[in-house]
Amino acid sequence: MKKIMIASDIHGSAYYCKLMLDCYKKEGADLLVLLGDILYHGPRNDLPRDYAPKEVIAMLNPLADQILAVRGNCDTEVDQMVLDFNVLCEQAHLYVNDEHLVLVHGHKLEGTSMPALRQGDYLICGHTHIPKFEAKSNYTYVNPGSVSIPKEGSCHSYLIFDKGFTFKNLESFEEYSL
């Protein structure tokens, strides 16, 4: 049985990256999945608290062998030059605990850019900064929300996947329901 922590949209916040890594350690997870937008805040977002991409790099690189990341719309080739784990992969697939998790950032989920999904798959996305768990016709859409810039009144959040999905508040470490 593997335990996975899934987080998205750090956007260069050293403060929230540290909180995220503290939670990762407390959770005792086997893998940290990052759903993109790791270092840059993007032109549509305000600067997150303690915006310090170099500090985020220094915190994440020592954990490179424990991180699986996908590319967000704010991640670039320059980011790959400073990070010791792949951040340019558009999607990844995890088969864990008899489940198929399809990992993407979520900014290309229209038309022909939609990943191939089978009955019962989980499509795990970030991008919107809004936590969500929604059954679709043949798959389930899951979004952990945002580590640093939550939207629509949501909290700073992440997901744990082991015997199912558990939404967690990054600041209180408590579970919450949608």
For the stretch 54-113, pLDDT in tens is: 999 999 999 999 999 999 999 999 999 999 999 999 999 999 988 999 999 989 876 667
Beta strands in 19-86 (DSSP E): 31-34, 67-69
What total of structural domains would you count in the chain?
1
- Strand order of the sheet with strand 4-7? 67-69, 31-34, 4-7, 157-161, 165-169, 175-176
Residue 80 phi/psi, 5-degree rounding, is: -65, -30
Residue pair 32/63 in contact by the 8 Å Cβ criterion: yes
CATH number at 86 reads: 3.60.21.10
Q: How confident is the model at residue 177 (pLDDT cuts 50, 70, 90)?
A: confident
Rounded to the nearest 10 degrees, the angle between the axes of helix 14-27 and helix 53-60 is 20
Q: How far apart are CA 136 and CA 118, in angstroms?
A: 11
H or E stretch covering 15: helix 14-27
Contacts of residue 151, Cβ cutoff 8 Å, sequence gap at least 6: 128, 129, 130
Q: What is the pTM of this model?
A: 0.95
Q: Range of 86's domain?
A: 4-176
